[in-house]
Amino acid sequence: NATYTDRGGNGMPPLTTHRQLILRYPRLFATELDFQSHSRRVKADSTTFPGLDEEIEFVQLESGNYIGFENIDLTGISQLKIEALLFANQNEGWLEVRTDGPNGPVVGKKELPHALKDNQQREVLIPVKNTGGLQSLVFILKSPAGVSRSLGFYSVEFLTGSPDET
């Protein structure tokens, strides 16, 4: 919170302005989503995803569906690190990042690994265009026409610096 009051002058009373900025942690869990399209919460542990140390809850996306977060500012952000749970024997697909809703401009896109033999937990780095100001951020799972794809979305972390530095 910040408040400023000037002294006024020439018969004018003092003016006061107030501004509040709410900072978010640079990592958001998918289960903290603000809006979605046909996704569901799922729990996983080391029996379904080898390498997990504990039970986690993630959001499962199918082709064409999305999750979104409101009031995100990408100023200074160069990439997003997605912690994903990739399912075995999946078709090709990609994750799109859009601003201002599911039909908004694409600010990032990344092909996803496919044809895995086992379920795997992976980090997926998506370079993003630096768009400033508060806006909605939408993650849409895409695949070629007629092809289905699933993805377990666990978290997104907002990274600064050039992609070579992270």
Q: What is the pLDDT of residues 16-71, one digit of tens each?
A: 888 766 666 799 999 999 999 999 999 998 888 887 888 999 999 999 999 999 99
- CATH number for the domain that contains residue 123: 2.60.120.260
The answer to whether position 147 is within a domain reads yes
Instruction: Count the domains in the chain.
Output: 1
Q: Which of 3-12, 95-104, 131-140 has the lowest mean pLDDT?
A: 3-12
> What is the C-alpha to C-alpha distance for residues 33 and 50, in angstroms, rounded to an integer?
26
Q: For residue 15, is it within any domain?
A: no
10, pLDDT greater than 90: no
Residue 46 covered by a domain: yes
Task: Output the CA–CA distances (angstroms, integers) from residue 56 to 68, 80, 123, 155, in the order listed.
Answer: 20, 20, 15, 11
Across 25-102, the runs of DSSP E, i.e. the strands, are 27-29, 35-37, 40-44, 56-62, 66-73, 77-86, 94-99
- The answer as to whether 18 is a domain residue is no
pLDDT digits (tens, 9 = 90+) for 100-158: 999 999 999 999 988 788 888 899 999 999 888 899 999 999 999 888 999 999 999 99
Q: Look up the domain containing 122 and give its range.
A: 26-160
Residue 80's alpha-carbon distances to 2, 136, 157, in angstroms, are 30, 15, 6
What is d(CA 100, CA 79) in angstroms, rounded to the nearest whole number? 18
* Residue 11 falls inside a structural domain: no
Instruction: Give Cβ neighbours of residue 32 (< 8 Å, ≥ 6 apart).
Output: 69
Q: CA-based diameter of the chain, in Å?
A: 78
- Residue 14, in any domain of the structure: no
Is 4 inside a domain boundary? no
- Of 127, 93, 123, 125, whose CA–CA distance to 108 is shortest? 127
Model confidence at 5, in pLDDT bands (50, 70, 90)? confident
